Structure 1
Amino acid sequence: MADIFTTDHLPGRTILYNHREYLFFSGTSYLGIPQNKEFQQLLIAALSRYGTMFGSSRNGNLRLSIYEEAEQQLAAFTGAEAALTLSSGMMAGQVVANYLRAQQYSFLYGPCTHPALWHEPAVEVPTVSFADWTNQLPDLLTITGHAVIAVNSIDAVRSEAYPFAWVNNLPTDQPITLVIDDSHGLGVLGDAGSGIWRQIKRPPNVRLIVTASLAKAMGLPGGVVFSDAETIAAIRHTAFFGACSPISPAYLDAFVRADELYMQARGRLQQNIALAEGLLLPTGLFRQAPGYPVLYTERDELYPFLLENGIFIYSFAYPTPADKANTRIVISAFHEPEDIDRLAHCIHELR
């Protein structure tokens, strides 16, 4: 297991540890929004209006209009009919799981499905490949009644894109709810970063629900659920949602004013990804989902080698300490071309 670093400042292009500066290629701040000075100024202005937190249920008798405004903007961005924000991506997944569990539906999970979508504390997810699992789906869907299929949009750990053409071939003689965790795709993948929603073609009997953390590419401390308006209204009126603390309204106020900042950040990220792909993929050491800012490697010795050379990358066991450590390089919009050049130079030295 990699050594644990502790620091007292937000990582950006670099981190400072034991009086030494390291280039930082880890984390999930793909668009660099938390480090973006202009976004910080929007947030400072919003804090003067909304304070640090709205201490109330979203279903209370006093409501802040910024929630509905931001949710409409998020829904329009992804192409969904409606959206609902929560205090984290985990809460977004759990409000959906609790809603569907209450309907007594049968659950099927894809490989590596994030625990946010689990409908009970311990769920056994398949250990086969995603392709093999989709081939098995016709046999798995022999269950009667309403079926829930819960999957991730992408294997973010190993940077593997999941295909979804199989959705359009699902049985049409039973109701199905497809729940997709798009935490790592929203903001960076899909049309202009709009995520997975527009990419899913499905029969009329398949209801789509997409959940996501907003704390990754979007840089907001919260989560979101996308679906049709009827489903979102039903989830909103559950006791689970009513008891949840909401996302801080100041962050949503900054979000609705930051369209141009997000667009600029996506442009910088795409340039950085293209540069990293051109320099690193030819080494044969990495696997990467097209256009995704994560490059995964089986060569775990890359971590200590780069650390010795002043570069900090992602390398730890996930999602539990018992899992194998995984090593990957994360590209962000805040990186400069010379950062990626230096990274590539060190990796070529290792080879």
Structure 2
Amino acid sequence: MTSRTFAAFLQRSLEELKEQGLYNTIEPLEGPNGPTIAIRGRELVNLSSNNYLGLATDERLVEAAVRAARTWGAGSGAVRTINGTLRLHEELEEKLAAFKGTEAAVSFPSGFACNMAAISAVMGPGDAILSDELNHASIIDGIRLTKSTTIRYRHSDMDDLRAKAREARDSGKYEKIMVVTDGVFSMDGDVAKLPDIVDIADAHDLIVYVDDAHGSGVLGGGAGTAKHFGLSDKIDLQIGTLSKAVGVVGGYVAGSRELVDWLKARSRPFLFSTALPPAAVGASIAAIELLQESRELQERLWRNAAYLQQGLRELGFSVGATETPITPCMIGNEETTQLFSRRLYEEGVYAKAIVFPTVPRGTGRVRNMPSAAHTTELLDAALAAYAKVGRELRLIP
């Protein structure tokens, strides 16, 4: 490293993170990311994966990935607009549109890329974006690219959204106004008030944009938050990921045919990113087909989530305002949260601490993500560890 200033900056900044309890250690897994995981030769109950339905390790998806790779190759070879679009990509997008109840869909390399692509392709200078204050980082970064006026509204506060939407529209300053929200908020597990948001949008001519990364595969029979509320035809842009409940990698935007045509022509991540590899596409197709055929995995997920949440409450922990399988165990202080997570690890449970800047200061929590693949025995082992560590740290009686 040639710059002394740069080296000093890195050293100082990393030390500050460690002193504040905000430094995150990344530990590689020594096997698949399933209901249990192996780290440094130890088997741990895994409560930190977004693999809601257990599909990331499902043999049916593994076989589909292998078949697609053997047929279509290891990579797609180009960006979509040159010759990287395989018939396989079109098949996936047709299935996604049918799954989400929209006219069309378009896939991207990641869910993060979807928000960078779609918001900036639709909105620009002279427009305004109403954004929930707890929206995901990828939404915030996507909004920054637009150079639109950003108007934050209080989390799920519909009176605040209504007032700010009225003020923005009545000002006459903006051509287009969009309201952007997560469908399910990933840190707290609460669900956006889509019926109210749609009513406000109808009253003030707003574009409705829902990032349903944590709702797809979980709510609405798997089709997501919009379907859960019966509003699939009222949401202008539905964003989803293929890396959580679907169990693979990638993202997609679902909406009207004109929207998808526009994104293919103007969204930069679509224009300048190599297309999803065939193995990922083949496995994603298999996952969507499974979700369309049966709700068994979703039902098992919800049973496991209810079991874990009830167990934590009975121990004396708070799981916040969650309405979904996302199960935050609220701690508060950042250093205590980090210590709690480390002690759980020592007791055989992998549940990561979530602290600032991912969540506001003073709201640290250990976030648990039960899946359809967990057994009751594994969840009981996790609850036993929570009881032991919680009493040791005097967080519960």
TM range (shorter): 0.7 to 0.9
Identify the match of residue 137 of structure 1 among 138, 148, 161.
161
Change (3 A) 1:52 1:162: same
- Secondary structure of the residue aligned to 1:12 is coil
Q: Percent identity?
A: 22
CA deviations 1:283-304 (Å, max 9, x no partner) are 3413266662221122236423
> Which residues in structure 2 correspond to 1:270-349 (within 5 Å)?
270-287=302-319, 292-299=324-331, 300=337, 302-317=340-355, 320=358, 325-349=364-388
> How many angstroms apart in 2 are the aligned matches of 1:151 and 1:248?
29
Identify the match of residue 200 of structure 2 among 164, 170, 174.
170
Change (3 A) 1:19 1:280: same
Identify the match of residue 100 of structure 2 among 68, 74, 78.
78
> How many angstroms apart in 1 are the aligned matches of 2:161 and 2:154?
12
Q: What runs of 5+ residues in structure 2 fail to find an aligned partner?
A: 1-20, 332-336
Query: Does the alignment pair 1:128 with 2:154?
Result: yes
Kept in 2, the 8 Å contact 1:27–1:314? The answer is no
Between Structure 1 and Structure 2, how many residues are aligned? 347
Kept in 1, the 8 Å contact 2:33–2:56? The answer is no
Between stretches 222-231 and 265-274, larger displacement belongs to 265-274
Between stretches 86-95 and 26-35, larger displacement belongs to 26-35
> How many angstroms apart in 2 are the aligned matches of 1:259 and 1:138?
36
> Which residues in structure 2 correspond to 1:73-222 (within 5 Å)?
73-102=95-124, 104-117=126-139, 118-120=142-144, 126=152, 128-131=154-157, 134-141=158-165, 142-143=167-168, 144=172, 145-170=175-200, 172=202, 174-190=204-220, 192-199=221-228, 208-222=236-250
Give the helix-richer structure, 1 or 2. Answer: 2
> How many angstroms apart in 2 are the aligned matches of 1:319 and 1:219?
26
Identify the match of residue 278 of structure 2 among 225, 229, 249.
249
> How many angstroms apart in 1 are the aligned matches of 2:122 and 2:35?
41
Residue type at the aligned position of 1:341: D
> How many angstroms apart in 1 are the aligned matches of 2:84 and 2:137?
33
Residue type at the aligned position of 1:344: L
> How many angstroms apart in 1 are the aligned matches of 2:320 and 2:29?
31
Change (3 A) 1:96 1:258: closer
Query: Scaled by the length of structure 1, what TM-score is found?
Result: 0.87
CA deviations 1:315-342 (Å, max 9, x no partner) are 1336559966431111012212100111
Q: What runs of 5+ residues in structure 1 fail to find an aligned partner?
A: none
> How many angstroms apart in 2 are the aligned matches of 1:260 and 1:198?
17
Residue type at the aligned position of 2:259: T
- More relative contact order, 1 or 2 (CA 8 Å, 6+ apart): 1
Kept in 2, the 8 Å contact 1:13–1:23? The answer is yes
Kept in 1, the 8 Å contact 2:55–2:287? The answer is no
Kept in 2, the 8 Å contact 1:183–1:213? The answer is yes
Residue type at the aligned position of 1:129: H
Shift of residue 239, structure 1, vs aligned partner: 5.6
Kept in 1, the 8 Å contact 2:61–2:286? The answer is no
Change (3 A) 1:212 1:104: farther
Residue type at the aligned position of 1:246: A
> How many angstroms apart in 2 are the aligned matches of 1:342 and 1:44?
35
Kept in 2, the 8 Å contact 1:86–1:245? The answer is no
User: In the alignment, which residue of structure 1 is the partner of 2:14?
Assistant: none
- What is the RMSD computed on CA atoms of the aligned residues? 3.0
Between stretches 101-110 and 156-165, larger displacement belongs to 101-110
Residue type at the aligned position of 2:246: M
User: In the alignment, which residue of structure 1 is the partner of 2:61?
Assistant: 39
